Structure 1
Amino acid sequence: MNIILHYFDSVSEILKQYYIKPKPKESKGNRETIKGERKRISSTVLKIQLPQFGALSKIFESKIVLNVKDYGAKGDGIEDDTQAFADVWNKACSSKIESRIIIPDESSYLLRPINLAGSCHSKITLMIFGSIVAPSNPDVWNGNDTHKWIYFHGVDHLTVEGGGTINGMGQEWWASSCKINPKNPCRHAPTAITFHKCNNLVVKNLIIRNGQQMQMAFTNCDRVSVSHVSLFAPSWSPNTDGIHISSSTNVEVKDSVIRTGDDCISIVSNSSKIDVRRIFCGPGHGISIGSLGKSGTCDQVYDVSVRGAILSNTENGVRIKTWQGGSGFVKNVKFDDIWMQNVSNPIIIDQYYCDSNTPCPNKTCGINVENISYVNIRGTSATKEAIRFACSDVAPCEGLFLEDVYLVSSFDDVTTTSFCWEATGTTSGTIYPPLCYYSNSATFIKHIVSYIPSLQPIESIML
C-alpha cells in the first residue's frame, strides 16, 4: 500500500503538469508527440493498478479555488457580506484538498465581526485582491467581543496575501477614546485582524489601514512570517499598534512600512525568537519590547533581533518598558544597524513605565533586563537626551553593550546627553553622546551578548 501511495504522488505531479497546462497550438508532429506522452503516462497508471475513477479524480485536483462572490458576496461596500465569508471559509476549512479563497479586485466587502476558526483539514490561502471594510459604527459590536473584528484562531498552514486592503474604519472608535477625550469612558476597541493559536502562518503583501485599535496581532502563535505589509493610521490615533506579538515564538517580520499612532511593533508577554528586519517606522512610538509586568504579572521576552530598521519622526526609537512590581525578564536582545531621523528618545530602557492618569506606586520587585546590545545605531535625536537607561533599584539593568552608536541633535544649537540609573555594561568603538554607566571589563559583555542564536529561517522551518 505504501508503494502504491508513493506512486500516486509521483503520478499526480505528472498529471497536474500535463492537464493544467493549455494544449499548445503547434504542428501536428508536436501534437503526435504529446499523444505519445499521454499513452506513456496511461500505461504507468495501469501498471500500478489505480483504484476506481472516483478516487483517481482526487489526484487530478491539486487545490480548489473558491470565489467569495459565488457564495453570495455583493462586494458593494454597503450590503453585509459576513455570511458569504463565513460560508466560503467553512467550505475551505472542511475540504481535504488545499483551498484558495479569492476576494476579487475592484470590489469592497462589508464585514461585521467574524471568527474564522480551525482546525482545518488542509492548507488554505486567502487571496485578498479587493478591499474589506469594517462597519463604521461601533454599535455594531453590541453583544460581540469588542477586542475582535477579523479573528483567525486555531488555523495551521494558513497564508493571507493578495495586495488588497483591510480597512478598520476606526475614526469613530478613536473619537470616543478616553485618550482623545478624558471625559469618555475607557473601553476596548477591536484589533483589525488577529491570529490566535495559528502555526505555520504566512502574511504578506497586504495593506491594513485605520484599525479600530491595533492593526495586526499574533497571540500564542508559532512559526510566523510577515513580509511586505503596509500598516497605516494617523499619528494621533490612540493605541493603534502596527504589529503586536504576544506569547508567540519563531516570528519574523520583514520588509514592511508602518505609520501609526502607537508602537510600530510591540513584543510582549512570553514571546521569544523574534526576528525583525528592514522595517520603516514612522510616525509612531517606535519599536518596543513591552510593556511588561503590569499588575504584578510574570513576563518573559528573550532572543529578539531588530536589524536594518529606519525610524523617522517617532516618539521613541528602540525601547524596553516595564512596570514596577512585575517579575520575569527581558534578555538576549540585539538592536543592530538602525537609522534614526528626528526621533525622540532614540535609545530607552524605562523600568518605571506608568501609563496611568495617576502616579504609580514604587514597588520592591521588578523585571530583570540583561544582555541587551545596541550596535551601529546612528542618526538624529529630537530630544536632548538621546540615550536613557532608567533601570530599577531592585532589578538593575546588567550586561548592556553599545558599539558604534552616534546620535546627535536634530537642532544645531543642542548637544545630546545620556542618562543612566542602575545600569552596567560596556562599550566598543565610537559612542556619542558619552555614556554615564560603569563599564565592566571589555570581554564581559562580548561573551554574553554573542548570545543571539542564528534564528532558523522561517522558510526552512515551514517546509
Structure 2
Amino acid sequence: MLLFRWLLFIWIAVALFSFHSRNVEGRTHFHNKPKSNGSNKKAPVSHSPVHPPSNPLDPDDPGNPKSDPHIFNVKSFGAVGDGSTDDTAAFRSAWKAACAVKSGVLLAPSDCVFKITSTIFSGPCKPGLVFQVDGVLMPPDGPDRWPKSDSKQQWLVFYRLNGMTFTGIGTIEGNGQKWWELPCKPHRGPHGKTLPGPCDSPALIRFFMSSNLVVSGLRIQNSPKFHVKFDGCDGVMIEKLSISSPKLSPNTDGIHIEDTKSVGIYNSVIANGDDCISIGPGCSGVDIENVTCGPSHGISIGSLGVHNSQACVSNIRVRNAFIKESDNGVRIKTWQGGMGSVTGITFENIQMDNVRNCIIIDQYYCFSKRCLNQTSAVLVTDVLYKNIKGTYDGRSPPMHFACSDTVPCTNITLSEVELLPAEGEMVDDPFCWNAYGTQETLTIPPITCLQDGEPHSLSETSIYRC
C-alpha cells in the first residue's frame, strides 16, 4: 500500500509539470515573434509612442527601470509647467535625448502649461521622432516680454528633420494679442492709420528644410503672425488641426506653405484674420480636402511674383471645402511684373456661406493704389471650378477674373457654379478682363464676359511657363 501511494504521488507530480510546461509554451508562442538563428531570447515589446504606459512607479523618474525608455517627459528634465517659469532648457534637453533614439517621444504632459522662448529644434534625428503636446505650450506674452536676443521672426522652428510627427491632444497658445495691437499693424495706429515699423512678429510654428512630416490633432491658436508655416519641405501630412484667432487679427494665416511639395491637408477647421490656407511660390502636388474655413480671407494661391520674381505653382486640388463669412473664397493673386506660372488648379465641391469674392483671380494684386501696370506677369492657366455653390456678400461680384493685359488667363473652366446673394438682389455682372475659358454648364449668376477659345498671343505665353 505504501508503495502504491508513492507511485501515485509521482504520477500526479509528473502530470502537473507536463500541463504547466504546455501552458508556458502556448503563451510564448502567442506573444513572441518566431525565433531566429536558434536564439531563445524573447522579442522586445514596443510601447505606443502616443500614450505612455501606466506604471505603479513614478514614470517621471529617469532612474525608474520600468519607465518606457523611448518617452522623454519634459518634467523629468526640470520643466515646471506652471505657466510662468521658463521651461526652455528642459525642452531642449528632452529634445536632445529623444532625437538620439529610434522612435523617441518628447512628451509635454497634460494638466501643465509650459512657457518657452524662441527655439530651433534641429536634426537630423533617429527615425520615428514624435513631439507630443498634451498640455499647453506657449511663448512669452507679447513683444515687451520677448528676449532681446531672440528672433522676432519665429518661435518654434523644426529644422532638417525626416519622418517627424508633431501631435497631441493639447494646445499651442500663441499669446498674439499684444503683437496684433502694435501701431505698425494695419489700422492699429492713431486715427486708424498704420505707422512705420519695424513690425516684426513671429510665426508660431515653422518647419524648415524637412521631409516626411505629420502634424495632427493639435489646437493652435492666437498666433502673432502665421500659425503654421512650411518652408522648403517635401512630404507633409496635416490632419485634424483646429486653428483659431480673431477675425481682425492681422497676418495670421492658418497654414502657409512655400517651396514645398507633396502636401496633404485634411479634416481641419481654421478661423483666423488672414488666409485660411496660403500657397506660396515653389509649391506643387498639394491636396486639400474636408477643410472648414471662416471667418478668414479664404484659400489663396499667392501672392506670387512680388518684386519681379519668378513663381511656379502647379497641381493644386481643393475639394469638399466649406468657406463661410470670409472676405474671399478661392483666390489666385499675383503681382504685376512677375514671371512663371500657376497651372493645373482644381477647386471642386466647395460650399460658400456669405462669402465676398467667392471666385477670384487677381493679377493686379497690390497693397496700395501706387502700383504700376507692368508688361510681364505670372501666367495663370488650366483652372477648373466645379460644383461651387452657396451664397455671396452682395458688395462684390461673386466671380472676378482680372488678368494681365499682356499675359491673359487661359483655359478657365466653369461647371455647376451656382452662387446666390446672402441678402438683397443678385449681382448680375461678374467681372472679367482678358480671361479665356469655357462654361460646361450655365452659371448662376450668368457670366458672359469670359472669352471663348484661346488668345492670339497664346504662343508668346510659353516663355512664362516654368
TM-score (norm 1): 0.84
Which residue identity does 1:376 align to in structure 2?
Answer: N
> Offset of 1:33 from its aligned partner?
4.8
2:38 & 2:442 partners in 1: Cα distance? 70
Cross-structure match for 2:24: 35
Q: Is the 8 A contact 2:222 2:245 kept in 1?
A: yes
Q: 1:164 to 1:408 in 2, by over 3 A?
A: same
Cross-structure match for 2:119: 114
> Offset of 1:364 from its aligned partner?
1.1
Cross-structure match for 2:38: 48
Q: 1:300 to 1:46 in 2, by over 3 A?
A: closer
1:322-361 map, 5 Å: 322-356=334-368, 359-361=370-372
Q: Is the 8 A contact 1:406 1:433 kept in 2?
A: yes
Cross-structure match for 2:56: none
Which residue identity does 1:424 align to in structure 2?
Answer: Y
Q: Is the 8 A contact 2:310 2:340 kept in 1?
A: yes
Q: 1:31 to 1:404 in 2, by over 3 A?
A: farther
Q: Does 1:178 align with 2:185?
A: yes
Q: What are structure 2's unaligned runs of at least 5 residues?
A: 1-16, 48-68, 455-466
1:137 & 1:223 partners in 2: Cα distance? 33
Q: What are structure 1's unaligned runs of at least 5 residues?
A: 1-27, 51-55, 442-463
> Offset of 1:312 from its aligned partner?
0.5
Cross-structure match for 1:440: 453
> Offset of 1:178 from its aligned partner?
2.7
1:367-406 map, 5 Å: 367-383=378-394, 384-406=396-418
Q: 1:286 to 1:30 in 2, by over 3 A?
A: farther
Identity fraction in percent: 36
> Offset of 1:66 from its aligned partner?
1.1
Which residue identity does 1:178 align to in structure 2?
Answer: K
Q: 1:412 to 1:72 in 2, by over 3 A?
A: same
Which residue identity does 2:89 align to in structure 1?
Answer: Q
Q: Does 1:254 align with 2:266?
A: yes
Among 286, 306, 312, the residue aligned to 1:294: 306
1:286 & 1:30 partners in 2: Cα distance? 69
Which residue identity does 1:98 align to in structure 2?
Answer: S
1:61-210 map, 5 Å: 64-95=70-101, 97-139=102-144, 140-176=146-182, 177-179=184-186, 180-181=188-189, 182-210=194-222
Greater percentage in helix: 1
- Equivalenced residue count is 408
TM-score (norm 2): 0.83
Cross-structure match for 2:276: 264
Local SS of the residue matching 2:24: helix
Q: Is the 8 A contact 2:122 2:160 kept in 1?
A: yes
Local SS of the residue matching 1:66: strand
Superposed CA offset, 1:355-385 (max 9, x none): 24x5111211100000001000011110341
> Offset of 1:163 from its aligned partner?
1.5
> Offset of 1:402 from its aligned partner?
0.3
1:131 & 1:73 partners in 2: Cα distance? 13
Q: What is the CA RMSD across the aligned residues, in angstroms? A: 2.4
> Offset of 1:209 from its aligned partner?
0.4
Look at both structures and tell me which one has the larger radius of gyration over its CA atoms: 2
Q: Does 1:275 align with 2:265?
A: no
Q: 1:34 to 1:231 in 2, by over 3 A?
A: farther
